Amino acid sequence: MATPPCYTNDKYMAQTTLFDIPEKTKSSNIREVYPSIISVSRATDIPAFYMDWFFERWKEGYVLWHSPYNQAFTQKVWFDNVHAAVFWTKDPQALYQCIQKLNTCSFLYYVQITLNDYEPELEPGVPPLHDRISAFQKLSQELGPHRVIWRYDPLLLSDTISLSSLYSRIEHLCGNLSAYTEKLIVSFIQIKRYKGVRRLLATSAHSGVREFTPDEKLHFIRFLREIEEKYQIKSHICCEEQDPFVYSHTRPGDCVDRTLLLQLAKEKPEKYSEFISFLQDAKKDPGQRKKCSCIHAKDIGQYSSCLHFCRYCYANGNDAIVKARHQAHKNARSTKQDLPSLIPLDYSWLNRSI
Q: Is the dihedral of CA 39, 43, 48, 53 positive or negative?
A: negative
pLDDT exceeds 90 at position 24: no
pLDDT exceeds 80 at position 117: yes
- More reliable by pLDDT, 21 or 224: 224
Residue 166 covered by a domain = yes
Domain that holds residue 326: 25-334
293 pLDDT band, cuts 50/70/90, is confident
CA–CA gap between residue 280 and residue 111 (Å, rounded): 21
Residue 255 covered by a domain = yes
By mean pLDDT, which of 50-54, 256-260, 346-350 is the weakest? 346-350
The pLDDT of residue 309: 98
The pLDDT of residue 8: 30
The pLDDT of residue 247: 57
pLDDT exceeds 80 at position 206: yes
The DSSP bridge pattern shows strands 108-114 and 148-155 to be parallel
The pLDDT of residue 2: 37
288 pLDDT band, cuts 50/70/90, is confident
253 pLDDT band, cuts 50/70/90, is confident
Residue 348 covered by a domain = no
pLDDT exceeds 80 at position 348: no
Task: Indicate the DSSP class of residue 210.
Answer: B
For 295-323, what is each residue's pLDDT tens digit?
999 999 999 999 999 999 999 999 999 99
CB distance 107 to 84 below 8 Å: yes
249 pLDDT band, cuts 50/70/90, is low
Top-ranked range on mean pLDDT: pick from 25-39, 44-58, 331-345: 44-58
The pLDDT of residue 14: 35
The pLDDT of residue 244: 60
Residue 15 covered by a domain = no
Task: Indicate the DSSP class of residue 87.
Answer: E
Residue 35 covered by a domain = yes
What mean pLDDT comes out for the span 82-100?
A: 97
By mean pLDDT, which of 126-130, 146-150, 251-255 is the weakest? 251-255
CB distance 209 to 201 below 8 Å: yes
| Number of domains making up the chain | 1
By mean pLDDT, which of 25-29, 110-114, 295-299, 304-308 is the weakest? 25-29
CA–CA gap between residue 303 and residue 322 (Å, rounded): 9
Q: What is the helix (H) or strand (E) element at residue 320, kind and residue range?
A: helix 319-334
Mean pLDDT of the chain: 88
Residue 224's nearest CA partner among 232, 213, 235, 215 is: 235
CA–CA gap between residue 99 and residue 264 (Å, rounded): 17
Look up the pTM and report it.
0.89
246 pLDDT band, cuts 50/70/90, is low
